[in-house]
A and B are shown apart, each in its own frame.
Chain A
């Protein structure tokens, strides 16, 4: 006890030295933007005009009354739920599969990881080339088996699904990587014990694997939710939010109606609303992280 008290004493300078640089950077780079965004969200701030009359909650009212915005919120939430569930599920299957291999685990896990390493711009480009109605391989395939050419990104019925598939293709590897690492941490002794008890593959998965990786699954879902919620680049390059708003997301909306038009007051209000959304989504996680 005495030892610990000794250690605790007089390390104020050390604490300060270790945290000051981070604090300085984060203070400058987050406090100013946050205040800026909050203040301007209550004003009619157009960047070029340089004036910002106070208009109280008008931006927020306008935002919530706007049907495009509501549609964007709906799209974003739906997209996030579908993408995260599929990515975590597929990632888990992949991880279980690779873990079960006796040979070539190393090779396979690098190969599977590749899509995640590509920048969003390149991913969008690849799929645009593959799905093009004129020179895309996907449509050539359809034609070969006698089906008509299909316009994946321009048909309101398929545009959303197509972007979803692309997102799943790119991000499932991340879920795979995390969950694979997770599976490495499950002690072999537990599997042996289950085997002695006569448990089959599914039973031991249910009673041994799953309980050991719930934390990993939750974390994985959390991280993917945060990232998917701000989906922007792929949509902006591939569909620009069209056709008929079926692929517009909150960030895409904010970009089109706030940043592009230089209405930074409106953009700020949009940013605040979005932040609140993300905060609600991640509140559970942050709470847990702080407690531990």
Chain B
């Protein structure tokens, strides 16, 4: 018995190492390419770089204007996250509670889920003409709105289940104590679904952060460039690609989300397990 469990542990260890290798090796390669001097990027490339340089990162920020893109991506993703959370949470609450009923409720729910399913490529041209007519095409507003369009359905779909899981008694007793609907929602219901909010916030932020299809059509000024746009310009020019530079860019774009996940991982897991995946 002792021997068997010892064997199991060893086996599990090996499997673990294998998984980590498969998952992380490509990312290790990305890191490596971003700190390797150009001279070490042709011919046979060693597993461990001969020397380490930060030249690609420096060039990225001093010459390519990556700092502007980083700032734009942060602003766009944060604003769109906050706005879609604010509107999405309210709507999800109404849709989840049977005591709020109105004629078009079912249609509305279906429609919101439908939006989540539609392919963005189908929307991008009509949205461009719409934004041009509204006269906001030169600003960062179109991209923020596009991210909101992506995220509201996600948030609503996700949060409906959370609200449904809350026992109705809490609200009823608070109601009897004289709380208004708004106080009820803001002070009692929302704090109870915080883990869900954290999880969906992370996913929404990520979608907005990595958004490319809408941004490339809707951006009309270099001061509004976002990180995915910069990466694609660096990646597809007709000249020989500077792999150091694109790798450094790719890595930089990855860090903010990574930090977010490391800090929010407990919320993420508990959020997912207590809500969306329950049927």
The residue that A121 contacts in the complex, of B19, B108, B182, B212, with Cβ under 8 A, is B212
Query: Chain B contacts of A125 at CB under 8 A?
Result: 30, 231, 235, 243, 246-247, 250
A255 to B129, CA, bound (A): 18
A189 within 8 A of B: no
- Give, as a whole number of angstroms, the nearest-CB distance from B259 to chain A: 11
Interface check A25, CB cutoff 8 A: yes
The answer to whether B265 touches A127, judged by C-beta atoms less than 8 angstroms apart, is no
Residue A142 lies at the interface, judged by CB distance under 8 Å to chain B: no
Which one, A62-70, A77-85, A202-210, A284-292, is touching chain B?
A: A284-292
Q: Does B99 contact A (CB under 8 A)?
A: yes
Q: Which of A3, A12, A117, A255 contacts B206 (CB 8 A)?
A: A117
Residues of A within 8 A of B123 (CB): 29-30, 33, 37
B2 within 8 A of A: no
Residue interface mask A101-132, B partner, CB < 8 A = 1: 10010101111111101111110111101100
Q: Contact at B276–A219, with CB atoms within 8 Å?
A: yes
Q: Which residues of A contact B15 (CB under 8 A)?
A: 97
Which of B113, B231, B269 is in CB contact (< 8 Å) with A286?
B113
Bitwise interface map of B from 153 to 190 toward A, beta carbon under 8 Å scored 1, else 0 = 00011001000100000001001100001100100000
Whole-angstrom distance from the CB of A148 to the nearest CB of chain B? 16
Give the residues in chain B near A237, CB-CB below 8 Å.
232, 235-236
Q: How far is the CA of A37 from the CA of B23 in the complex (A)?
A: 40
Q: B53 in the interface, Cβ–Cβ < 8 Å?
A: no
Q: Which of B99, B119, B164, B265 contacts A230 (CB 8 A)?
A: B119
Q: Is the CB of A215 within 8 A of B26?
A: no
Given A110-B261, A125-B235, A129-B243: A7 and B116 interface contact (C-beta under 8 Å): no
**Docked CA distance A33–B217 (Å):** 15
A55 interfacial by beta-carbon distance below 8 Å: no
Which residues of chain A from 256 to 283 have a CB within 8 Å of any chain B CB? 259, 264, 267-268, 271-272, 274-275, 278-279, 282
Q: Known contacts A114-B23, A129-B29, A226-B117: does B129 contact A140 (CB below 8 Å)? A: no
Inter-chain CA distance A218–B276, complex, in Å, is 12
Q: Evaluate contact between A178 and B250: CB separation under 8 angstroms.
A: no
C-alpha spacing A229/B122, complex, angstroms: 13
CB closest residue in chain A, given B107: A290
Q: Which residue of A lies closest to B160 (CB)?
A: A289
**How many angstroms between the C-alpha atoms of A127 and B209 in the bound complex?**
21
Contact of B125 among A119, A169, A264, A289 (CB under 8 A): A264
On whether the beta carbons of B114 and A286 are closer than 8 Å, the reply is yes
- Tell me whether B130 and A33 are in contact (CB under 8 A): yes
B139 on interface, CB distance cutoff 8 Å? no
What's the least CB distance linking A206 to chain B, in Å?
19
Residues of A within 8 A of B213 (CB): 232-233
Q: Of A19, A25, A185, A216, which one neighbours B149 at CB under 8 angstroms?
A: A25
Cβ-defined partner of A18 (8 Å) among B90, B114, B118, B243: B90
With CB as the reference atom, state the residue of chain B lying closest to A183.
Answer: B273
Q: Please, which residues of chain A bring their CB within 8 A of the CB of B185?
A: 18
Q: Please give me the residue from chain A that is nearest to B202 by CB atom.
A: A117
| Identity of the chain A residue whose Cβ is nearest the Cβ of B110 in the assembled complex | A290
When the two chains form the complex, which single residue of A216, A220, A251 contacts B121, counting CB atoms closer than 8 Å? A251
Total number of A residues with any Cβ neighbor in B under 8 Å = 96
A4 to B130, CA, bound (A): 44
Alpha-carbon separation in the docked complex, A125 to B257 (Å)? 19
**CB-based contact A169/B26 at 8 Å:** yes
Q: Which residues on the A side are within 8 Å of B125 (C-beta)?
A: 47, 259, 264, 267
State in angstroms the CA–CA spacing of A107 and B100 once bound together. Answer: 43
Looking across the interface, which residue of chain A has its beta carbon closest to that of B96?
Answer: A292
| Complex: A118 Cα to B228 Cα, angstroms | 11
Q: Does A198 contact B (CB under 8 A)?
A: no
**Contacting pair B157 A289 (CB below 8 A):** yes
Q: How far is the CA of A184 from the CA of B265 in the complex (A)?
A: 14
Measured CA separation A210–B18 after assembly (Å): 26
A22 near B250: Cβ-Cβ < 8 Å: no
B164 contact from A112, A179, A292, Cβ within 8 A: A292
The CA of A286 and the CA of B29, in the complex, are separated in Å by: 41
Within 8 A of B (CB), among A214-237: 214-216, 218-220, 226, 229-230, 232-233, 237
What are 28 inter-chain pairs, A to B, with CB distance below 8 A?
A: A3-B172, A3-B176, A4-B172, A7-B99, A14-B100, A15-B102, A22-B112, A22-B156, A25-B149, A30-B149, A33-B122, A37-B126, A110-B265, A114-B24, A117-B257, A119-B231, A122-B231, A122-B253, A126-B29, A137-B47, A140-B45, A169-B23, A178-B272, A218-B279, A219-B279, A226-B116, A264-B125, A278-B117
> Which chain A residues have a beta carbon within 8 Å of chain B's beta carbons?
3-4, 7-8, 11-12, 14-15, 17-19, 21-23, 25-26, 28-30, 32-33, 36-37, 47, 94, 97, 100-101, 104, 106, 108-115, 117-122, 124-127, 129-130, 134-135, 137, 140, 169, 173, 177-185, 213-216, 218-220, 226, 229-230, 232-233, 237, 251, 254-255, 259, 264, 267-268, 271-272, 274-275, 278-279, 282, 286, 289-290, 292
